[in-house]
A and B are shown apart, each in its own frame.
Chain A
């Protein structure tokens, strides 16, 4: 077996083990005291009734699934945006894409969507449209001669993000607050359990996004040499960029639709993994899928327990970790890159 495949297998086993450990922890802790033995017996199919079963099967387990899925999707979206913009500081939130998706979701909420599969699809469609608009605007504004210089890209992303945040505020101010009851909580990132139909839509869309990105991991490596070199090595750069753009926007928008705009996962996870695995996207993308899950699940478990019985929004935790991390990366690793 070639070394790369072996390293990937190793990384995935390590991250898979970490995910199991964190997931076990997330099952164990919470405001309702449930003994490990009771959890085990519920998981093994015993005691289908009673408070323990409700807590484990209807609250903690779905939450673990949503957190893992959302974290993985965001981390892969981060790798994808970084490869696409050839910029290690790109992230769905920093690029304003998440705000665009959030605006789409708020608009969709105005129509008072229920919890059916059709509603979940509609919500995703609005989020996806918002994400595409925001990413497109950022790209058009920031691109100079087909390149996306660091400062311009970050500034444009922040400004586009601010614009969509303001637009969200406008909508919220104009509309009867009761119709948007959950919006404030959702806007900070919220991994509360979602309906089975929504979860299925979330899973399918995430899988599609990961497939779009992972299937072109090798070509994304070549894109790091610059677009012209990638073309000269046999890559259809325009098609590649479109596919990655759609894939990363899809990943971002379905997370925003079902868990809210959670920031910085797409920055912290890929950057940390690059330290272990190097820049090869063929290792990075699958590892980010698991690593993102581990990180967000950990952050969410902290959000549930730090101020128990109250609960922090998970976006608060990721932002508290992510903002200093961003500054650290900007000041050390990428100092002086134009």
Chain B
């Protein structure tokens, strides 16, 4: 089966990185695949390159060398809207600069499907409403985004991404700033989207337990390189995590056979 996404030896450095006051940062020789229908969790310490991977996959940035293929075709051959019909990104929560409503936000997800149109059509509205229903924000459709809670806004943004009808859904820290209830809600929603609609998901998270719980495979990045990729139980090793994160970590199987990663506090 052709992978949905394939990165082959991707190198990247930000312009001016490593000069003067910026810390040197490079993505080196990053290669991995995302199979259709899987959930891939991307984990790693701060500045390991997680967000850079998202930016490369959505062509906000282009690799210095190496290739990124989507369904076997180089990203460079796709226009921005062609790409946006296939890959949707849910960024970290940030309300827009103007008080758009939930419905207006979700309709923005229809832009790549008809970039030349001035107004969205009836079909766009139907798809947007369906996406809002899927993430449970249909009742909030006429509300301004800035009036919502962080969790509601996150689900609205997720609905916007679903309205793009993407094959790959990328989420950047989907549960950051959310309390436990919303975390559980978002996690359940992602699993449902994956199982019921077959949406392929790339999930970037600092929450190793959430990533392990949701993902079929984990990709561990460290200092711009792939440290390991595989099923959660192969990646979440105490010694590997301790080396990559630079702190003591315990990994245990909970009674529900979930993997539980815990930081061991340094002794006082």
Query: Could you tell me if B84 and A234 are in contact, using CB atoms closer than 8 angstroms?
Result: yes
Per the bound structure, the CA–CA distance linking A79 and B38 in Å amounts to 43
B204 to chain A, nearest CB (A): 14
Query: Could you tell me if B98 and A279 are in contact, using CB atoms closer than 8 angstroms?
Result: yes
Taking CB atoms, residues of chain A closer than 8 Å to B85 are 234
The 7 lowest CB-CB distance pairs between A and B, nearest first, are A234-B81, A234-B84, A279-B98, A234-B112, A86-B97, A224-B96, A232-B89
Taking CB atoms, residues of chain A closer than 8 Å to B115 are 234
Per the bound structure, the CA–CA distance linking A225 and B80 in Å amounts to 16
B1 contacts A by Cβ under 8 Å: no
A2 contacts B by Cβ under 8 Å: yes
Pairs across A and B, CB under 8 Å, 6 listed: A4-B119, A222-B111, A228-B55, A228-B60, A232-B84, A234-B82
| CB closest residue in chain B, given A85 | B97
B122 contacts A by Cβ under 8 Å: yes
Per the bound structure, the CA–CA distance linking A225 and B99 in Å amounts to 11
Taking CB atoms, residues of chain A closer than 8 Å to B117 are 218
Residues of A at under 8 Å CB distance from B? Answer: 2, 4-5, 86-88, 217-219, 221-222, 224-226, 228-229, 231-236, 274, 278-280, 282
Per the bound structure, the CA–CA distance linking A221 and B108 in Å amounts to 8
- Identify the interface centre among A217, A219, A221, A234: most chain B CB within 10 Å of its CB: A234
B248 to chain A, nearest CB (A): 35
Query: Could you tell me if B121 and A2 are in contact, using CB atoms closer than 8 angstroms?
Result: yes
On whether A231 and B59 interact (CB within 8 A), knowing A87-B97, A226-B94, A279-B99, the answer reads yes
B31 contacts A by Cβ under 8 Å: no
Interface residues of B in 107-161 (CB under 8 A from A): 108-109, 111-112, 115, 117-122, 125
Query: Could you tell me if A236 and B80 are in contact, using CB atoms closer than 8 angstroms?
Result: yes
A244 to chain B, nearest CB (A): 14
| 11 other A-B residue contacts (CB within 8 Å) besides A5-B119, A233-B112 | A2-B122, A2-B125, A87-B97, A218-B111, A218-B117, A218-B118, A224-B96, A225-B108, A233-B164, A234-B82, A234-B111
Partner of A279, one of B59, B91, B100: B100
B4 contacts A by Cβ under 8 Å: no
- Identify the interface centre among A2, A219, A232: most chain B CB within 10 Å of its CB: A232
The contact size tier of chain B is 35 or more
Query: Could you tell me if B81 and A225 are in contact, using CB atoms closer than 8 angstroms?
Result: no
Query: Could you tell me if B108 and A2 are in contact, using CB atoms closer than 8 angstroms?
Result: no
Query: Could you tell me if B122 and A232 are in contact, using CB atoms closer than 8 angstroms?
Result: no
On whether A278 and B108 interact (CB within 8 A), knowing A2-B122, A217-B118, A235-B80, the answer reads no
Taking CB atoms, residues of chain B closer than 8 Å to A228 are 55, 60, 91
Query: Could you tell me if A231 and B111 are in contact, using CB atoms closer than 8 angstroms?
Result: no
B261 contacts A by Cβ under 8 Å: no
Per the bound structure, the CA–CA distance linking A279 and B107 in Å amounts to 14
Query: Could you tell me if B97 and A278 are in contact, using CB atoms closer than 8 angstroms?
Result: no
B30 to chain A, nearest CB (A): 20
Query: Could you tell me if A233 and B108 are in contact, using CB atoms closer than 8 angstroms?
Result: yes
Per the bound structure, the CA–CA distance linking A178 and B134 in Å amounts to 72
On whether A224 and B60 interact (CB within 8 A), knowing A2-B120, A235-B80, the answer reads no
Per the bound structure, the CA–CA distance linking A87 and B97 in Å amounts to 7
B58 contacts A by Cβ under 8 Å: yes
Per the bound structure, the CA–CA distance linking A32 and B99 in Å amounts to 47
Per the bound structure, the CA–CA distance linking A312 and B164 in Å amounts to 54
Per the bound structure, the CA–CA distance linking A279 and B178 in Å amounts to 27
B88 contacts A by Cβ under 8 Å: yes
Query: Could you tell me if A233 and B111 are in contact, using CB atoms closer than 8 angstroms?
Result: yes
B209 contacts A by Cβ under 8 Å: no
Query: Could you tell me if A229 and B91 are in contact, using CB atoms closer than 8 angstroms?
Result: yes
Query: Could you tell me if A229 and B89 are in contact, using CB atoms closer than 8 angstroms?
Result: yes
| CB closest residue in chain A, given B91 | A229
B210 contacts A by Cβ under 8 Å: no
Per the bound structure, the CA–CA distance linking A2 and B109 in Å amounts to 17
Per the bound structure, the CA–CA distance linking A278 and B164 in Å amounts to 23
B187 contacts A by Cβ under 8 Å: no
On whether A225 and B120 interact (CB within 8 A), knowing A231-B59, A234-B111, A236-B80, the answer reads no
Per the bound structure, the CA–CA distance linking A229 and B109 in Å amounts to 11
- Identify the interface centre among B84, B91, B105, B119: most chain A CB within 10 Å of its CB: B119
Query: Could you tell me if B89 and A225 are in contact, using CB atoms closer than 8 angstroms?
Result: no
Per the bound structure, the CA–CA distance linking A225 and B104 in Å amounts to 12
On whether A226 and B91 interact (CB within 8 A), knowing A88-B97, A234-B80, the answer reads yes
Taking CB atoms, residues of chain A closer than 8 Å to B60 are 228, 231-232
B101 contacts A by Cβ under 8 Å: yes
Per the bound structure, the CA–CA distance linking A278 and B98 in Å amounts to 9
Taking CB atoms, residues of chain B closer than 8 Å to A86 are 97-98
